[in-house]
Amino acid sequence: MKWRSVLVAVLLGLAAAPVPALADCRQALALGLDVSGSVDKWEYRLQLDGLAAALTDRQVQAAFLDFPETPVRLMVFEWSAEAHQRQIVGWTDIVSTAQLSRIAQRLRDTRSVPVANPSTAIGAAMLYGAAELRTQEKCWQKTLDISGDGPANVGRHPRLIDAAETGGVVINGLVIGPDGPTNTTKNRTNVKSLMAYYESHVIRGPGAFVEAALDYEDFARAIRRKLIRELQPAAVSRQAGGSVDIADLVGPVALDPAQ
């Protein structure tokens, strides 16, 4: 593939240049899942099981493992109120499909815990994820995913999070629409509104983008699409930022004709 040739050329250039040794991993990726008050037990399961399904998808696994000598380092956490962030999967170097399958099973086995304050503190989730990513000093890229089904309603507004506080972390968004069976009275235009909110206040960094799931049942497809996009090497993934048009989300993902 063209992007692979580009990355190989970059790596060869780095090897020839008088720079420090290569990093331990090519990308640190933190995935933050929304467990705020608007998320019920059914929606909680769809998030975790949807992510599990994505991690066992053939294309996603290939994206993780394309350069095993410089693995992706993965962490998964859930978030809600200012003081509620819980790691589900600690920092793990992804080196095999078996390892991804084990993480997927851990996600399926994870059960929700009562949250004393189920508010939506996106700003706190951004700061928590960025702080975790800064501990992964030897990774070339640092990427944070924030999934959510509504705007912040407590704590610091995302727009007030200074760039210095998130450092060199790229923050992407995955917004979840209102079309599930528990939200049948809501209008799909809310998806566009939430995407605009994330584009204006949440995402940041080179190439940052927003993905959308029309509802919680669509989460597995959306997170699969998102992971494939953001796991591409920096040489081709750091294009101008942008989002997927909502009209493109009705049909299947056209990433692999075999699927």
The candidate with the shortest Cα–Cα distance to 231, out of 107, 66, 99, is 66
Strand order of the β-sheet with 72-79 is: 85-94, 72-79, 25-34, 139-148, 170-176, 209-213, 242-243
pLDDT number for residue 179: 55
- Please report, in tens digits, the pLDDT of each residue of the chain (259 residues total): 554 554 544 444 444 433 334 458 999 999 999 999 888 889 999 999 999 999 999 999 999 999 989 999 999 999 999 999 999 999 999 999 999 999 999 999 999 887 767 799 999 999 999 999 999 999 999 999 999 999 999 999 999 999 899 988 999 999 998 654 444 444 556 788 899 999 999 999 999 999 999 889 899 999 999 999 999 875 434 344 445 444 444 333 334 433 4
CATH value of 29-247 in 3.90.340.10, 3.30.420.40, 3.40.50.410, 3.40.225.10: 3.40.50.410
pLDDT number for residue 249: 43
CA distance 165 to 168: 9
pLDDT number for residue 112: 85
Identity at 176, one-letter amino acid code:
I
pLDDT number for residue 18: 37
pLDDT number for residue 244: 47
pLDDT number for residue 189: 63
